[in-house]
Amino acid sequence: MTNLNAKELVEIKNKYYDTLIDELNNGSKPKLKELEDWKSSFIETLAKRYNEDNDIYINKDELIKIIEFKLKKGKFRPTLRKLVLQNEESIIISTINEAFNYFVLQLNKKDTKIDEENYLLIVKHSLEILIKLRGVGPATASLLLSFLSGITSKSPPFFSDEAAIEIFKKEDSNYKLKYNVKEYLHFIEYFFEIDSKFEFGFDNLESGLWCIGIGLPESINDNINSNNNDEHDQSKSKDRKLKLKNGDDDDNDDDDESGKSIKKRRLRS
């Protein structure tokens, strides 16, 4: 895992995130900036719905837009959009509404202690609701939950490929993401380690990690890699180790409605 602290990750995000978005938008990912701006605006829309109506929902068109953002910013998975389109709008609205309201209500309960264990349980249950939708696996579900950042400072991070690899590659330089719930909860544990009081926002920390994964100026990356190498032996001895089983979903898969994966079909000669 990268050993940068929360403040350093936020500084990286503030300094490089917009620049990297612009570079990708002008290069391999046209329209990314447009979708990024829409995302920021829609997070405000959700907050407005919650504040004015005390309710949170996403309709089908909005979900498709979120999927387009996910596919544009991360790895392109050709079947994902088609799968999501198969959901009825009423089911989309009711399912996301249930997950969002559960997450926010649990966090706002006076008798709920938001320690790591309880937080992971709340996130896990929210994910289990969302992945009932066809085409929505843990990664997409995490993106949906991250849109709650305009409502609560305790919103979970998006399980982006780039941020996840930056975390898990310290345990295994050849690590391949499996995109399952267990792996995502391990992903969140890292954020709790560096920001257990939610002072910086998990969404901001994820953005900082994303910047590192995309690629920072060489001098910055050299410094990060040097620090990581110095900490490698120490990190091995930590009690919390990521003991993820092999044989689960790999990073060439598309999430399906159960949070598992749909193997890309290979044409037989």
pLDDT in tens, 79-88: 999 999 999 9
Helical (H) or strand (E) element with 190: helix 181-194
Give me 86's structure tokens: 């198969």
Instruction: State the chain's mean pLDDT as an integer.
Output: 85
Tokens representing 32 are 């990314």
**262: burial class by Cβ within 10 Å (0-12, 13-18, 19+)?**
middle
Distance CA 241, CA 175 (A): 14
Nearest to 188 by CA among 150, 146, 222: 146
Structural domain boundaries of the chain? Answer: 6-262
- Residue that is written with structure tokens 């037989």 in the block: 268
- Residue 253 has what pLDDT? 40
Cα–Cα distances in Å, from 25 out to 1, 30, 68, 207? 28, 4, 14, 16
Q: Mention every residue, 6+ apart, whose C-beta is less than 8 A from residue 14.
A: none
252-269: pLDDT as tens digits: 344 443 444 433 323 332
